[in-house]
């Protein structure tokens, strides 16, 4: 499957993706904007059946696969797996999701509830991905890799298409950076529809592989140890790194404490419960608030799946 992301694909995705994932709330959060001095648009991707933006790309890749009925295999920290399970259940396709043994129990529970078979692997997400790839080859099943398939990015890019439908243009969009499908989709659309808008990707400081890769113009592995499981990448997808040269204007890093602080700000100022990766963009805006003073920016809040223990630890 092709890694390229096209404008035609994004436009089609906006027409065919399950409406449950489209037209999510987008609004200027005035208390937050007053706090930072930066007019901040929140794009809320946690109010859908899986509490994550991942449903967009998952539903669109299943649409593009058409009538194929071969069982599907993927790896996930939890949100992509939920999106794939939701899309497969709708179409009557079997799916196996490989995840790390210490993945969020809430996300594991939700993937199972959506009909996925779960295989937990000792090690981290990238080790689970290796196991998923081997399993798919051995069982003659279809392996879907997030970050490597253009249609997933085209589905995610519908977020940017919706943002550019707002009356006032954006000076920048801040995008949590995991395997790259989201930022490459967002960047592809914005370079087409709003070239004056900067695309700023955001990594966790203790999972910097994608930031290092963007600077080096090649995939660079790096240790990953962050509370933000949605952006905890150790082994980058080379195809995603290559696309980022044309879609991303800058890559920032934020530490775990800044993400937790931004989660608390979102709860206080907007009444929103967001997971650490989902707050990465807002953390980056807070870090650059002096440079951004008076500008209009957007933060994509990519998901809100938190366990009760995480809610108590980070938001109490």
Is the pLDDT score of 221 beyond 90?
yes
pLDDT above 70 coverage of the chain, percent: 100
CB atoms within 10 A of CB 267: 16
Is the pLDDT score of 1 beyond 90?
no
What domains are there in the chain, each with its CATH number? 7-53+150-315 (3.40.50.1100), 54-143 (3.40.50.1100)
Tens-digit pLDDT profile for residues 104-120: 999 999 999 999 999 99
Tens-digit pLDDT profile for residues 31-43: 999 999 999 999 9
The answer to whether the CB of 263 falls within 8 A of the CB of 270 is no
| H or E segment to which residue 175 belongs | strand 172-176
* Confidence band for 69, pLDDT divided at 50, 70 and 90: confident
The answer to whether the CB of 140 falls within 8 A of the CB of 68 is no
- Alpha carbon distance 90, 79 (integer Å): 17
Residues 64-71, mean pLDDT to the nearest whole number = 90
Structure tokens given for 68: 């194929």
Judge residue 293's burial from the number of C-beta atoms within 10 Å of its C-beta, 0-12 exposed, 13-18 middle, 19 or more buried.
Answer: exposed
The answer to whether the CB of 126 falls within 8 A of the CB of 234 is yes
The answer to whether the CB of 239 falls within 8 A of the CB of 222 is no
What are the beta bridge partners of residue 174?
200, 299
- Alpha carbon distance 65, 16 (integer Å): 13
What pLDDT, on a 0 to 100 scale, did the predictor assign at position 248?
A: 98
Structure tokens given for 243: 């696309």
Is the pLDDT score of 68 beyond 90?
no
Is the pLDDT score of 285 beyond 90?
yes
Report the candidate in 98, 102, 144 with the shortest Cα–Cα distance to residue 118: 98
Structure tokens given for 200: 């700023």
What pLDDT, on a 0 to 100 scale, did the predictor assign at position 211?
A: 98
Tens-digit pLDDT profile for residues 176-214: 999 999 999 999 999 999 999 999 999 999 999 999 999
Is the pLDDT score of 67 beyond 90?
no
Per DSSP, 231 falls in state G
């Amino acid at each position: 499957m092709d890694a390229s992301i096209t404008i035609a694909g994004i436009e089609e995705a906006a027409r065919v993706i399950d409406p449950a994932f489209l037209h999510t709330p987008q609004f200027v959060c005035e208390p937050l904007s007053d706090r930072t001095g930066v007019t901040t648009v929140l794009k809320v991707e946690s109010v859908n059946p899986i509490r994550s933006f991942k449903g967009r790309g998952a539903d669109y890749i299943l649409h593009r696969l058409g009538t194929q009925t071969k069982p599907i295999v993927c790896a996930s920290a939890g949100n992509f797996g939920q999106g794939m399970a939701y899309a497969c259940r709708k179409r009557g396709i079997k799916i196996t999701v490989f995840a790390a043994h210490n993945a969020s129990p809430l996300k594991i529970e939700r993937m199972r509830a959506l009909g996925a078979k779960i295989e937990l692997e000792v090690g981290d997400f990238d080790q689970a991905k290796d196991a998923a790839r081997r399993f798919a080859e051995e069982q003659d099943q279809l392996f879907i890799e997030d970050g490597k398939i253009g249609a997933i990015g085209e589905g995610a890019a519908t977020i940017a298409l919706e943002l550019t439908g707002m009356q006032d243009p954006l000076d920048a969009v801040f995008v949590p950076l995991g395997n790259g499908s989201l930022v490459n989709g967002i960047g592809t659309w914005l370079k087409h529809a709003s070239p004056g808008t900067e695309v700023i990707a955001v990594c966790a400081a203790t999972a910097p592989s994608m930031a290092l890769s963007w600077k080096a113009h090649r995939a660079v592995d790096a240790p990953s140890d962050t509370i933000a499981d949605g952006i905890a990448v150790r082994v980058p997808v080379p195809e995603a790194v290559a696309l980022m040269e044309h879609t991303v204007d800058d890559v920032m890093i934020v530490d775990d404490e800044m993400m937790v602080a931004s989660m608390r700000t979102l709860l206080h100022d907007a009444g929103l419960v967001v997971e650490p990766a989902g707050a990465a963009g807002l953390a980056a805006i807070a870090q650059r608030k002096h440079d951004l003073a008076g500008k209009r920016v957007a933060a994509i809040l990519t998901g809100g799946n938190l366990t009760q223990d995480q809610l108590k630890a980070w938001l109490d």
